Amino acid sequence: MNKLLTLACEPKEAEICSQKLASAIEQDTWVQLLPAKGDSPIIPNSILPKGPGVVISSGGSCGGPHQCLHPSSHLDQSAIATGQWLQNQGLQPKDSVILNPLPLHHVSGLMPWWRSRIWEAQHTWLTPSLMRNPIALRKSCESIFQRKFGPLLISLVPTQIQRLIEHADGLKWLQSFDVIWVGGSRLSKHLADKARRNKIHLAPCYGTTETAAMISVQTPKEFLEGRTGCGQPLIDVELRLTQNGALEVKTPRLASAQWKDGSLKNIKDEKGWWRSGDFAKLTMEGCFSQLEIIGRIDTAIHSGGETIFLEQLEPKLSLAAKKVGLPIQYLIFIPINEDEWGQRLVALVRWKKEFTPNEHQEQLRTLQNLTKTWQPAERPFAWYECKELAPNDAGKWERSKWNNWLKTNH
């Protein structure tokens, strides 16, 4: 029977956890990466393929939470493809210095560390608390920046960039990197424009747990020139669209299986294609296709005969709120079923500061007024403050969690 090591990934102990993972992989063992807190279903040993490999949790591009099984060879292939992309930019993977602030139990945090193993590059973990303190963050990285002899690389999510770019020390820290891969959620136009004005080398990318991280990425040069989207597919990736615009992916590093609801499932069709949970556009430029993600299939709603993409509306309202000085920390839209419209939207808001009840109502009215010119189907019909509202450690919204909060509290 194959061995399975379950590894609870405490962010403060990322270095120790990654050492345990490396040791287990060397011993041909499967490792299931778990969050330090919370329950996740444990994969039975009996269903595991021959090791080594990693079981990674996914919120699900579609279909809800599940576990993806990746043989270590898939993760190797992902690192090799990313390394080839770096070489195409004139950067040597082996000379890189990789900083990693993302959690090991998410593919976004696992793969920077895995790349460092394959490339034989330097790798340093950054704690979540350090990422929330721009002054301490910059100071702690000074010695790394001073002695670096190759490209400085990092993967971030938009919420991290937004927090850092607004602080002088955070901005200078961001400006130190040769490549900042940014994924996990949509990069707003406001944030992208601010990054360009400050010459920050962002490389917007697209990837999933199922694909062992990024499969398409834009170069920093293209980003600074004003290009939008997620760039071109990597060397080991094919992309296509279904008739309704859903993105399909073909690559040898697709998860070998998915564990969900007590059973093991193959995610590919008979020709090796996997259907993602995203609507997309593919634009041909010469011999290459450029990828643009429109929105999640499972968050697109049908309201009053219109198809509405929440990922487009949320940054639109957040930007309008910022322009009039509303102190919004986080904002998301939750769809609920409604007989006449099919579905309608409810807005949840978390403020950056405390308000009296009267002030709170005044702020909500101001926020609501910003949507008066929107299409009726796009306008939330109810607005609520949610003091706990926040994305998860990987910078993604667990909408089912906040849907449950809404049902419980209103």
Beta strand segments in 261-374, E: 263-265, 274-285, 288-296, 300-303, 306-309, 328-338, 342-351
89 vs 353 pLDDT, higher one: 89
Domain 4-296 has CATH 3.40.50.12780: yes
For position 24, what pLDDT does the model report?
94
pLDDT band at 61 (very low <50, low <70, confident <90, very high): very low
- Please state the rounded mean pLDDT for residues 258-281: 91
Contact 43, 255 (CB under 8 A): no
CB atoms near residue 138 (< 10 Å): 20
Q: Please give the CATH number for the structural domain made up of 304-409.
A: 3.30.300.30
Q: Give the CA radius of gyration of the chain.
A: 21
Q: What percent of the chain has pLDDT over 70?
A: 96
d(CA 187, CA 37): 28
Q: Comparing C-alpha atoms, which of 237, 255, 258 is closest to residue 247?
A: 237
DSSP states of 117-181: HHHT-EEEE--HHHHT-HHHHHHHHHHHHHH--S-EEEEE-HHHHHHHHTSHHHHHHHTT-SEEE
For position 287, what pLDDT does the model report?
65
Q: Comparing C-alpha atoms, which of 81, 58, 80 is closest to residue 69?
A: 58
d(CA 290, CA 318): 27
For position 64, what pLDDT does the model report?
58
Alpha-carbon distance values, 136 to 15, 130, 169, 392 (Å): 20, 7, 9, 23
d(CA 326, CA 295): 26
Residue 52 has pLDDT above 90, yes or no: yes
**Intervals of CATH 3.40.50.12780 along the chain:** 4-296
CB atoms near residue 359 (< 10 Å): 12
257 vs 311 pLDDT, higher one: 257
Angle CA 181–182–185, to nearest 5: 155
d(CA 214, CA 101): 17
Q: pLDDT per residue over 375-406, tens digit each? A: 888 999 999 999 999 988 777 788 888 989 99
54: three-class secondary structure by DSSP? strand
Q: pLDDT per residue over 231-269, tens digit each? A: 999 999 999 999 989 999 999 999 999 988 888 899 999
pLDDT band at 38 (very low <50, low <70, confident <90, very high): low
Residue 185 has pLDDT above 50, yes or no: yes
Alpha-carbon distance values, 217 to 179, 188, 298, 306, 322 (Å): 11, 16, 23, 31, 29
Which phi and psi (to 5°) does residue 258 adopt?
-125, 135
**Intervals of CATH 3.30.300.30 along the chain:** 304-409
Dihedral, 59, 237, 53, 104 alpha carbons, nearest 10: -50
82-111: burial string, b at 16+ Cβ within 10 Å, e else: bbebbeeeebebeebbbbbbbbbbbbbbbb
d(CA 242, CA 33): 33
CB atoms near residue 198 (< 10 Å): 12
